[in-house]
Structure 1
């Protein structure tokens, strides 16, 4: 099935010229065409159309994925919130939880959902806990090797792909062009400056391999 994803402004990638009213035509798990929505809608009249408010960009890469998912515990809402609170648990407080591999796997699934809700399509890191590795792979997120930080004081691990970044483009994973994997995100902001200012929680949709894996309700 062909699907047209369109927004008020399309940013194909870092350094690319934005396309007002741009669209991405998805066929299977790949991008077939990129261009103005009006042109693509005429050329492919039978394609299903999905309209998103604001900005359509490549999906995001988050750093330190292993720290976020193997060394951070996300309490199960609502079952653990009363006892543990709603905030992620890290550091020495993890010792008191006496976490099994199964609980780490459940936590990782909740963590990947938080990442998808921020437009993340890829995580950098090395996963050593089998249940966590399985949860990440099943989520659809791409795993890439960690890279050395250019800064002597790297930014702390964060679910926010823009943490420590000076521009959203620094977090883009790939580009939106014909033949590339269909993985991108839509944000309810007018442009990249507003995206950096308002943050990744403005995400309204995340697509990986052509599948809509997150949609704000």
Structure 2
């Protein structure tokens, strides 16, 4: 099925000029074309259209997967928050006190991946050693990349520690590339830097809509 995603502004990658009323045409799990919405809609009149507010960009990348997904526990709301609170639990001593099983680690990682998808993240970089956590990441649709040196901070927020939001872009939106991108409720990149990644309204991975803000 062909799906045409369009937004007020399209930024296809680092250094790419913004395109007003741009669009991304998706076929299966790949990008078939990018360009002005009117042109793509005229060329593929039978494509399903999804209209999004704001700016459409490549999906985002976060580093430090092991710290975020194995070295942090995300309480299960509402079942554990009365005892543990709503904030993630970190630190070797605090985690040891929880006596986590592999199943609980996997469920915690699943909750973390949901938070990442809600921020427009499509890939995480790091080395994961807990099988249940690796399974949670694989099932989420997020791409797992090898560890890499980065100037950014280890955070669920892909913009943390970065000078420009473009530094968090993962890949380029072009014909033949994987269909993974995000849409944010911001008029342009400067406004996106101001409102942050929690302004994400949609995240697409492999052509599938994996997050949609309600």
TM range (shorter): over 0.9
Give runs of aligned pairs for residues 46-65 of structure 1, distance below 5 A: 46-65=46-65
Mapped pair 1:189 → 2:179? no
1:158 to 129, 133, 155: 155
1:71-150 equivalences under 5 Å are 71-91=71-91, 92-149=93-150
In 1, are the aligned partners of 2:63 and 2:150 still within 8 Å (CA)? no
Please list every run of at least 4 consecutive aligned residues from structure 1 whose deviation after the TM superposition is greater than 3 angstroms. none
* Other-structure match for 2:23: 23
**Following TM superposition, by how much is the alpha carbon of 1:5 offset from its aligned partner in structure 2, in angstroms?**
0.4
In the alignment, the residues of structure 1 paired with residue 89 and residue 106 of structure 2 have an alpha-carbon distance, to the nearest angstrom, of 15
Q: Name the counterpart of 2:170.
A: 173
- Deviation string for 1:166-199 (max 9, x for gaps)? 1111000000000000000000000111111111
1:12 deviates by 0.3
TM-score (norm. length: structure 2): 0.98
CA distance in 1, matches of 2:150, 2:74: 26
Deviations 1:37-86 (Å, cap 9, x if unpaired)?
Answer: 01111111110000111000000000101110001000001111111111
Unmatched segments (≥5 aa) in structure 2: none
Correspondent of 2:206 among 192, 209, 213:
209
Question: Hey, what's the Cα distance between the residues in 1 that align with 2:168 and 2:57?
Answer: 11
- For the aligned residue pairs, the C-alpha RMSD in angstroms reads 0.9
Q: Relative to total residues, which structure has the larger strand share, 1 or 2?
A: 2
Task: State how far apart, in whole Å, the 2-side matches of 1:142 and 1:58 are.
Answer: 14
Structure 1 gaps, min length 5: none
1:120 to partner: Cα distance: 0.1
For residues 146 and 43 of structure 2, the distance between their equivalents in structure 1, rounded to whole angstroms, comes to 39
1:13: which partner in 2? 13
1:117-172 deviation line (CA, Å, top 9, x unaligned): 0000000000000000000011100011111245xxx63x2100000101111000
Contact 2:63 2:124 in 1 (8 A): yes
